[in-house]
């Protein structure tokens, strides 16, 4: 029951081979392990959760990226178990799984990045993981042999769709999308996948998100590109204000295609397409958020800096009272004021603040706007896409944050998650 989740169609990225299997980590037996094999020309950068209790795979990713210089050959992703809060045994186990995949693919262990998502505080089932890894590696090897048989675009695209499903937990739909741009007369493809649904207020990354391009880009440009894009995409969403222990956002340039660097005139074209992929995926996470019945965009302008605009936007987007009012299609302007007012913005002058619901001016001069009626507000709130505009009336910067409503289904999903 995602809210208008309508992503641009996906295309394969040359230099990435995907295998998805059911390792038996999820109780329902659906796919729960994805292995991505990358071309030996690939350069990879990533950002991770700022949560103190970061998961074992996050710790290992940081360690491996520190020594491999971006030379990553494989991603090992499992859903159903987060391998977080598992101490040294959890780290040792993840290291063993990376080693197993590295041996099977004949690549160095530090070129294998592990990722996990699911229940926190339980050790991974070691045997099932190893059996799943062996099966995925064998499938990739077999595919190399049979390459001719499945080289049709549709067949290859199915691997991407399977992978987007394999990383899901409480998501109801896979999130997979592409943009293709022309660089120096050649097409460059950017394809991303993400999973989210709950425990979503990423801090420098989101739950799990993987973006691939066939362009050849060096590590410095690639890292700067990722950092600038996550600020307006994955770092601008919230379901429930809760920051996961396992957030990771990975950007891979396989280097199989066109060479590209930040001094080229085409760089803004590439950045624009990358931003589109990441923004669509991030907003897709919200559209498919746990229990979501509305997609809410909170736009805050007129601030002194981006930080205070985001602070106000998150105060609104995380307020349980605002979110329950959204669920009820209730034009409760008072709760919006409450949320703006609790954001602790120093010296904010209430009389300079304006609030609009969609195009309807609701609040100005410290009071309800003349001409505003409940009926006009209710008409905006009855839609499943709601825009809230707040102008702080004191500066020139702006920021947007995207969120879902708080429904009975959110409570049901999270009260029942482990049972």
The region of 44-52, 69-77, 302-310, 393-401 touching a second copy under the rule CB under 8 A is 44-52
341 binds a second copy (CB under 8 A): yes
Q: What is the per-residue burial (b if ≥16 Cβ within 10 Å, else e) of 356-391?
A: bbbebbbbbeeebbeebeeebbeebbeeeebbbbbb
Q: Name the one range near a second copy by CB under 8 A: 62-70, 71-79, 297-305, 344-352.
A: 344-352
Query: Among the options 44, 45, 86, 206, which is catalytic?
Result: 206
Q: What is the DSSP-derived secondary structure letter of residue 243?
A: B
How far CA 320 is from CA of 97, 199, 290, 315, 405, in Å, comes to 40, 15, 14, 10, 9
Please tell me whether residue 375 binds a second copy under the rule CB under 8 A. Answer: no
CB of 341 to a second copy, least distance (A): 4
| SS3 annotation, 13-29 | CCCEEEEEECCCCCCCC
Q: Is residue 385 involved in binding a second copy (CB under 8 A)?
A: no
At 292, list the tokens: 């979501």
Binding mask 242-281 for a second copy (x = CB under 8 A): xxxx------------------------------------
As a dihedral over the C-alpha atoms of residue 124, residue 106, residue 247, residue 27, rounded to 10 degrees, the angle is -30
| Chain mean position to CA 308 | 23
Q: Among the candidate windows 69-77, 280-288, 299-307, 338-346, which touches a second copy by CB under 8 A?
A: 338-346
Point out which residues pair with 296 in neighbouring strands: 386, 403
Residue 368 in the binding site for a second copy (CB under 8 A): yes
Residue 22 or 324 having the CB closest to a second copy: 324
Q: Are 209 and 163 in contact (CB under 8 A)?
A: no
**In the range 50-109, which residues lie near a second copy by CB under 8 A?**
50-54, 82, 84-90
# residues contacting a second copy (CB under 8 A): 69
Asked if 333 touches a second copy (CB under 8 A), the answer is yes
The footprint of a second copy on residues 118-147 (CB under 8 A) is: 119-122
Q: Per CB under 8 A, which region of 61-69, 140-148, 187-195, 365-373 contacts a second copy?
A: 365-373
What the block records as the tokens of 147 is 């390459």
CA distances from 31 to 162, 217, 218, 393 (A): 8, 32, 33, 50
The residues that are catalytic are: 206
Which residues are near a second copy by CB under 8 A?
50-54, 82, 84-90, 119-122, 198-199, 201, 203, 240-245, 318-321, 324-325, 327-328, 330, 332-335, 337-345, 348, 350-351, 363, 365-368, 406-408, 410-412, 414-419
């Amino acid at each position: 029951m995602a809210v208008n989740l309508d992503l641009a169609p996906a295309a394969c990225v040359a230099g990435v081979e995907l295998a998805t299997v059911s390792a038996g980590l999820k109780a329902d037996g659906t796919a729960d392990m994805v292995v991505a094999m990358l071309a030996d020309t690939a350069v990879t950068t990533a950002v991770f959760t700022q949560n103190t209790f970061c998961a074992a795979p996050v710790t290992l990713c940081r360690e491996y990226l520190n020594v491999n210089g971006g030379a990553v050959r494989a991603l090992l992703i499992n859903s159903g178990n987060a391998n977080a809060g598992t101490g040294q045994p959890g780290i040792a186990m993840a290291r063993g799984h990376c080693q197993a995949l590295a041996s099977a693919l004949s690549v160095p262990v530090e070129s294998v990045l592990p990722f996990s998502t699911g229940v926190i505080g339980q050790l991974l089932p070691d045997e099932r993981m190893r059996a799943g890894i062996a099966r995925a590696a064998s499938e990739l090897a077999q595919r190399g042999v049979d390459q001719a048989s499945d080289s049709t675009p549709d067949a290859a695209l199915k691997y991407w769709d399977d992978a987007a499903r394999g990383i899901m937990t409480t998501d109801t739909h896979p999130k997979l999308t592409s943009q293709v741009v022309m660089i120096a007369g050649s097409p460059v493809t950017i394809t991303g996948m993400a999973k989210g649904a709950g425990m979503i207020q990423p801090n420098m990354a989101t739950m799990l998100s993987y973006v691939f391009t066939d362009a050849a880009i060096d590590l410095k440009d690639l890292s700067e590109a990722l950092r600038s894009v996550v600020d307006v995409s994955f770092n601008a969403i919230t379901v429930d204000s809760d920051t996961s222990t396992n957030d990771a956002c990975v950007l891979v340039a396989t280097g199989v295609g066109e060479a590209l660097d930040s001094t080229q005139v085409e760089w803004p074209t590439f950045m624009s397409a990358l931003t589109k992929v990441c923004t669509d995926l991030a907003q897709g996470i919200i559209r498919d958020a746990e229990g979501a019945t509305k997609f809410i965009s909170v736009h805050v302008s007129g601030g002194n800096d981006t930080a205070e605009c985001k602070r106000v936007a998150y105060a609104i987007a995380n307020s349980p009272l605002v979110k329950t009012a959204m669920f009820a299609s209730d034009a409760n302007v008072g709760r919006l004021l409450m949320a703006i007012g609790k954001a602790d913005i120093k010296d904010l002058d209430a009389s300079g603040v304006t609030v609009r619901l969609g195009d309807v001016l609701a609040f100005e001069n410290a009071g309800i706007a003349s001409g505003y009626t409940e009926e006009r507000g209710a008409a905006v709130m009855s839609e499943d896409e709601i825009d809230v505009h707040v102008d702080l009336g004191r500066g020139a910067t702006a920021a947007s944050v995207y969120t879902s409503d708080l429904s009975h289904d959110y409570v049901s999903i999270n009260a029942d998650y482990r049972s």
